[in-house]
Amino acid sequence: MSDAAFVDGAAEPIRTADGRTWLFPAVTAGVWFFARRLSVSGGPDGPPVLALLRKRRHPACGPAVTDGGAFSVQAGLVASAPDAAEERAWTEAVGAGPGERPVFAPLALRAGRMTVEVAGRGPAGEPDPLGGAVTAVADLTLDAAEADAFAAALGSGSGPPVTLCFEHRYDVAVRAGDDLTVGVAELRRSIDLAEMRGLDPAAHVADVTGDETVPLTITCPPDPRVHRYAVQYGYVRPDGTTGGGSAHGDGADGLRLRHLMRWDPGGGPPSTVEVRHVVEWAEPDWPASTGTTVLATGPPCLSWRSRPSSIAEVALRTDLGREGPGSFATISWRAGPVRPDRPQLSGTLLIEGTDGLLREVIAFPAAPLAIFTWTAELVHPDGTTAAGQGGFVVRERNEADVLRASLKPGPALG
């Protein structure tokens, strides 16, 4: 019987000697999950992905004056596999005996949230839902003093005074005799950008000057769940002339573009910019997500980004696979909008009584009012049955526990 998908909720994690990794024991002996310290990176071999854009103007006399700015940063959330040296160090850290070779697997994290904190003003807005996204992008609108402070920090080769705080859930189980009780725990990690060193200012800081110019930045983060991004943006100037453009990119690479909105002196800026986007998912059964956002042009810099919260996730957890040899079960689920004219996704899990404690994370395009429903049937070795059902609004819950104790006896087979 395998229950290896769950962390042992009664045991404490171990931190490695270099302080960069946490090791969590599974309820199955010899299996360990790892979670690494997070970092800002453009990939295994890429430079950090962070950018500061300052909007500046030149008065009739004196030095340039900053009106404000925009800052963005991308963090990778995927834990890379250990190399041979790390695996040896981890094996020693978990106290494995001679000849024992533990199995190390990345900790399955879900229901992620990111909070961005700026020195001097605290959290910059509400926590940003991440779900199971593999990258996180934070963007900030800065006032003039903040933009100059960020530029001074980056100019010295250091990171700006920003901390990215991450919270993720993971699934645990606690033994009670021969039984297991499922639960949830949280992992909190952070990235202090001010601790970064050796940054090249020329690669991360750009100034836009001119009274008749406003920069627009559009970002779609890399996401393997996305097949293709498509973005179109446009605006109308007060004199009736128009501007805009379009772009598309693969989900694995993401999409990032910068456009300078310009107008003639004395003509005035457009009042709004309209951004339309389409997300085509890698899953062929998922309908494309579309949307339109209207940005007011008051701030000195404008930005828009696609958000991973457009994907909903539910962790379906069940102990039906612990019923024992000769038993089997099915769990059927449906997920999607409440409206009957909108498509819903569905699936069925086939479970044998020796499969152990199981967890399946079910992802699907989010809707303003999405629901998740399930029905389950368990057949005992003697032919007697038990059944149950449940459901909830996804924005209120993200776990569906299908447990033997919640099923009601049904008729015997045959």
Which residues, other chains included, contact 398 with Cβ-Cβ below 8 Å and sequence gap of 6+? 110, 111, 169, 312, 313, 314, 315
- Which tokens go with 154? 């980056």
pLDDT value, residue 309: 64
**Strands 31-36 and 272-281, how do they pair?**
unpaired
pLDDT beneath 70, residues of the chain? 1-3, 41-46, 308-309, 340-341, 368, 414
pLDDT value, residue 127: 86
Neighbouring C-beta atoms of residue 260, cutoff 10 Å: 11
| CB burial of residue 85 (10 Å; 0-12, 13-18, 19+) | exposed
Neighbouring C-beta atoms of residue 158, cutoff 10 Å: 16
pTM: 0.88
* Span 141-184, pLDDT tens digits: 999 999 999 999 999 988 999 999 999 999 999 988 778 889 99
* Span 195-230, pLDDT tens digits: 998 888 999 999 998 888 999 999 998 999 999 999
pLDDT value, residue 280: 94
- Which tokens go with 147? 């933009």
What is the assigned CATH class of domain 311-410? mainly beta
pLDDT value, residue 241: 92
pLDDT value, residue 310: 74
* Span 109-122, pLDDT tens digits: 999 999 999 988 87
pLDDT value, residue 3: 62
- Which tokens go with 79? 């834990």
SS3 135: strand
Interior angle at CA 268, CA 271 and CA 149, nearest 5: 80
- The DSSP H or E segment spanning 283 is none
SS3 288: coil
For the chain, counts of helices (H) and of strands (E): 3, 30
| Dihedral angle computed from the Cα positions of residues 9, 15, 20 and 24, in that order, rounded to the nearest 10 degrees | -30
CA-to-CA dists, residue 337 to 74, 344, 368, angstroms: 31, 7, 8
CA distance 58 to 143: 17
Out of 1.10.10, 2.40.50, 2.60.40, 1.10.3470, which CATH number does the structure's domain 212-306 have? 2.60.40
Please tell me if the domain spanning 212-306 has the same topology as the one spanning 311-410. yes
**Strands 255-262 and 213-220, how do they pair?**
antiparallel
CA distance 390 to 399: 11
The structural domains of the chain, with segments of one domain joined by +, span: 1-210, 212-306, 311-410
Neighbouring C-beta atoms of residue 407, cutoff 10 Å: 18
